[in-house]
């Protein structure tokens, strides 16, 4: 009798679209798997960073201080391109027993057939879930580099998933091999194209190309010792440091002192009753044969305008006032500094600095105002008398000035005189501007005692002059002065009438602000 043994058939099923599954055979388990793939092209830029500081050494006396300037320099010095594929392999245990010896090998082929050449392989880390219980799914990340040369840009990924207890293949590595294709992008993803630099003392600063940034830090005796500061590129972790060493000394000393005052009477001297200016920066320099004028100490005047420097080394020093923001003008000393040959143990006083502050002129009314109905309505008979006392130019063919008749007629004459004024003969335009300024003063739009800053010139060497003086000089210039002088005073009067000239304030302008 012949017996027949039926041989079991094994069915392997592959799912299109990046998944594969094989059916059950002999005792064991089955797997279902799929794979995803995304191609990347990255361009990673390289950077270097340097940090320096000047001065990097300070010697201070008690109360002294100095400012060092740090420089951070970054250099963008090339890039590296990388081509790789990343994705996920998903594996599901479809059987009734746990998997054994799970492994996943990624194969990379350059494109679709032909030639579909194998160009790289990589093992997938399955340690996050090395054993899959029945019905359990594991997700495993992979990354594989694309070796050069870069081909058409189309690549195929195959994930060879094996276990050693697969149904029908007990004891041997076996499992599904799903595939997926991907294309390289047309342009790279930029990495570290832009960086940010943070620093112990500040930041962050942003760089998209090679460059540098500077900042200042002030040191005192409280910083005695080694002061190291570090700058770091946040994206790469690269860093660079610079060190400032501070030493405090207490040798014999000399003092230099003075007052910053508001020179209200503009005579260049600190007179009784003139206010001190608080918060004004005074700098002290010492002459060095090798380096020239070297800063010794950046002081600020006290509430009474006073300042004092303590000097512990003999030599030649220069005390300098630092002009703040705003409209300030120096009155004394003209140079803005004092040079002092210092001997230790001596006291050097009266190194005073005089200044005044300016404000934009206000109140002036123009020729147009005094010739329109608004200005005309203000003119009085007494005004006409004052105007007729001036040396106003009488143009050829005109019967006025002086202005005469009833008030209405006089107003009309003034209007015509202003509207027809021309610089062809500078005396006429000068007269017109003088007439308008005089009316501005008579009607208290301007004050004749107001001091105006006009800048130093042949006609006003100090640069300061009152409105009354300007009118007097202009009136005098109408009697035979040169055209250049007439034009100079005409321009000043025009500036007053149009509020273009700055006025000297009666007291200090606070706050004192430095840029």
Do the beta carbons of residue 9 and residue 26 sit within 8 Å? no
Q: Among residues 148, 166, 183, which one ends one of the domains? A: 183
Q: CB count, 10 Å around CB of 108?
A: 21
User: Residue 301 maps to which CATH number?
Assistant: 2.60.40.10
pLDDT-based confidence at 115, cuts 50/70/90?
low
Tokens (6 digits) for 302 = 């006290």
Same domain, residue pair 228 and 327:
no
Is 510 a member of any domain?
A: no
Residue 512 in domain: no
- Measured at the CA of 256, the angle between CA 254 and CA 260, to 5 degrees, comes to 165
The verdict on 147 and 199 lying in the same domain is no
Q: Helices marked H in 99-229 — which ranges?
A: none
List the helix and strand counts (H, then E) for the chain.
Answer: 7, 30
Contact (Cβ atoms closer than 8 angstroms) between residue 124 and residue 105: yes
What's the pLDDT tens digit per position in 256-296? 999 999 998 888 889 898 899 999 999 999 999 999 999 99
DSSP 29: B
Q: Is residue 407 domain-shared with residue 430, that is, in the same domain? A: yes
156 and 89 inside one domain: yes
Q: Quick one: 202 and 327 in the same domain?
A: no
Residue whose tokens read 């440091």:
241
pLDDT of residue 111: 67
Helix (H) or strand (E) holding 430: helix 426-442
Q: pLDDT tens digits, residue range 199-229? A: 988 889 999 999 999 999 999 999 999 999 9
Give me the residues paired with residue 244 across strands. Answer: 227
Radius of gyration for the chain, computed over Cα atoms and rounded to the nearest angstrom: 45
- Per-residue pLDDT, 172: 96
The pLDDT assigned to 352 comes to 94
Q: Which residues contact 45 (CB under 8 A, 6 or more apart)?
A: 76, 78, 79, 190, 191, 192, 193
- When pLDDT is averaged across residues 58-77 and rounded to a whole number, the result is 90
Q: pLDDT tens, 160-178?
A: 999 999 999 999 999 999 9
What pLDDT is attached to residue 18?
Answer: 41
Question: With contact defined as beta carbons under 8 Å apart, do 496 and 437 qualify?
Answer: yes
SS3 473: helix
Can you tell me the distance from the alpha carbon of 430 to that of 427, in angstroms, rounded to the nearest whole number?
Answer: 5
Does 342 lie in the same domain as 258?
Answer: yes
- pLDDT tens digits for range 398-433: 999 999 999 999 999 999 999 999 988 999 999 999
Task: Name 354's Cβ contacts closer than 8 Å, sequence gap at least 6.
Answer: 261, 262, 263, 268, 269, 270, 330, 331, 332
Range of the domain at 402: 367-499
Residue 38 CA to chain centroid, in angstroms? 42
Helix axes 381-388, 407-419, angle to 10 degrees: 50
C-alpha distances in angstroms, 230 versus 48, 186, 469? 14, 39, 61
The answer to whether residues 492 and 437 touch, using CB atoms and an 8 Å cutoff, is no
Q: How far is Cα 412 from Cα 409, in angstroms, rounded to an integer?
A: 5
Residue that is written with structure tokens 């010896």 in the block: 101
Measured between its terminal Cα atoms, the distance across the chain in Å is 114
- Asked whether the predicted pLDDT for residue 246 surpasses 70, the reply is yes
In sequence order, what DSSP letters do the residues of 280-340 get, joined into one string? -BEEEEEEETTTEEEE----B--TTSEEEEEE-S-EEEEEEE---SSSEEEEESTTSEEEE
By percentage, how much of the chain surpasses pLDDT 70? Answer: 93
Would you state the structure tokens that stand for residue 243, as one six-digit string? 């060190």
Q: Report which of 341, 325, 343, 277 is spatially closest to residue 304, judged by C-alpha positions.
A: 277
Q: Do 481 and 378 belong to one domain?
A: yes
- Average the pLDDT over each of 6-10, 237-241, 242-246, 310-314 and give the range with the smallest value: 6-10
Is residue 505 domain-resident? no
Percent of the residues in the chain that have a pLDDT greater than 90, as a whole number: 81
CA distance 121 to 191: 26
- CA–CA separation, 515 and 229 (whole Å): 25
The answer to whether residue 362 sits within a structural domain is: no
- What's the sign of the alpha-carbon dihedral 380, 384, 390, 391? positive
Q: Is residue 289 one of the residues assigned to a domain?
A: yes
For helices 426-442 and 483-497, angle between their N-to-C axes, nearest 10 degrees: 30
What is the rounded CA–CA span in Å between residue 245 and residue 58? 6
Same domain, 267 and 296: yes
Query: Chain centroid to CA 238: how far?
Result: 24
Residue whose structure tokens are 């200090």: 508
177 phi and psi angles, rounded to 5 deg:
-135, 75
Residue whose C-alpha is closest to residue 367's, from 430, 434, 436, 445: 436
**Region 486-498: what's the mean pLDDT?**
96
For residue 360, being part of any structural domain is answered with no
- pLDDT at 341 exceeding the cut of 70: yes
Q: Given 293, 323, 355, which residue is the final one in a domain?
A: 355
- Spatial neighbors of 511 by CB under 8 A, at least 6 apart, are 279
142 lies in the same domain as 20: yes
Q: Which residue has the tokens 């350059």?
A: 110
The answer on 207 and 62 residing in a single domain is yes
Q: And the tokens for 117? A: 């050449």
CA gap 122, 173 in Å, rounded = 17
Residue 515 resides in a domain: no
Q: Are 13 and 25 in contact (CB under 8 A)?
A: no
Is 507 a member of any domain?
no
- Residues 184-204, mean pLDDT to the nearest whole number: 91
Among 127, 161, 183, which residue terminates a domain?
183
Do 39 and 102 share a structural domain?
Answer: yes
Angle between helices 407-419 and 426-442 (to 10 degrees): 130
Nearest 5 degrees, angle CA 353-CA 357-CA 362?
Answer: 165
Parallel/antiparallel/unpaired status of strands 57-60 and 239-248? parallel
What is the average pLDDT value for the chain, to the nearest integer? 90
Which of 12-21, 121-130, 196-205, 478-487 bottoms out in mean pLDDT, i.e. has the lowest?
12-21
Query: What's the total number of domains in the chain?
Result: 4
Give the rounded distance of the alpha carbon of 174 from its chain centre: 65
Residues 174 and 321 in one domain: no
| pTM, entire model | 0.50
C-alpha–C-alpha distance, residues 118 and 224, integer Å: 66
């Amino acid at each position: 009798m012949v017996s027949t043994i039926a041989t079991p058939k094994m069915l392997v099923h592959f799912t299109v679209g990046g998944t594969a599954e094989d059916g059950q055979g002999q005792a064991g388990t089955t797997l279902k798997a799929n794979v995803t793939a995304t191609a990347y092209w990255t361009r990673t830029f390289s950077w270097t960073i340097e940090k320096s500081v000047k001065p990097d050494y300070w010697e201070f006396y008690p109360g002294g201080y100095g400012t060092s300037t740090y420089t951070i320099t970054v250099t963008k010095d090339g890039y590296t391109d990388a081509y790789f594929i990343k994705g996920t392999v998903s594996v599901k245990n479809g059987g009734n027993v746990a998997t054994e010896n799970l492994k996943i090998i990624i194969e990379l082929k350059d494109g679709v057939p032909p030639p579909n050449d194998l160009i790289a392989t990589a093992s997938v880390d399955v340690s996050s879930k090395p054993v899959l219980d029945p019905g359990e799914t594991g997700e495993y990340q992979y990354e594989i580099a694309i070796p050069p040369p870069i081909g058409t840009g189309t690549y195929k990924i195959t994930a060879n998933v094996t276990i050693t207890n697969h149904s029908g293949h007990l004891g041997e590595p076996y499992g599904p091999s799903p595939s997926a294709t991907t294309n390289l992008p047309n342009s790279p993803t930029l990495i570290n194209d832009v960086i940010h630099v943070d620093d112990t003392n500040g930041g962050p600063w942003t760089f998209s190309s090679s460059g540098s940034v500077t900042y200042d830090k002030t040191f005192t005796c409280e910083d005695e010792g080694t002061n190291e500061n570090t700058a770091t590129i946040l994206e790469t972790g690269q860093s660079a440091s610079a060190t400032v060493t501070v030493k405090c000394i207490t040798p014999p000393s000399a003092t230099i002192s003075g007052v910053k005052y508001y020179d209200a009477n503009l005579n260049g001297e600190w007179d009784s009753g003139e206010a001190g200016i608080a918060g004004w920066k005074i700098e002290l320099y010492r002459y060095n044969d090798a380096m020239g004028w070297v800063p010794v100490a950046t002081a600020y005047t006290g509430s009474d305008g006073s300042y004092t420097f303590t000097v512990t080394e003999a030599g030649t020093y220069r005390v300098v006032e630092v002009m703040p923001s705003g409209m300030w003008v120096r009155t004394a000393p003209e140079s803005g500094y004092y040079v002092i040959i210092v001997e230790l143990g001596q006291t050097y006083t009266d190194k005073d600095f005089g200044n005044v502050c300016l404000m934009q002129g206000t109140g002036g009314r123009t020729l147009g105002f005094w010739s329109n109905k608004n200005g005309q309505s203000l003119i009085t008979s007494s005004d006409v008398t004052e105007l007729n006392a001036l040396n106003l130019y009488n143009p050829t063919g005109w019967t006025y000035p002086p202005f005469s008749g009833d008030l209405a007629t006089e107003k009309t004459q003034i209007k015509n005189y202003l509207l027809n004024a021309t610089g062809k003969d500078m005396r006429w335009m000068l007269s017109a501007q003088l007439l308008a300024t005089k009316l501005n003063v008579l009607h208290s739009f301007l004050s004749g005692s107001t001091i105006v800053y006009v800048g130093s010139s042949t006609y006003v060497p100090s640069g300061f002059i009152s409105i009354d003086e300007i009118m007097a000089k202009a009136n005098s210039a109408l009697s035979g002065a040169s055209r250049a002088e007439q034009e100079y005073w005409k321009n000043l009067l025009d500036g007053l009438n149009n509020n273009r000239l700055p006025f000297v304030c009666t007291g200090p302008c606070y706050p004192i602000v430095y840029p």
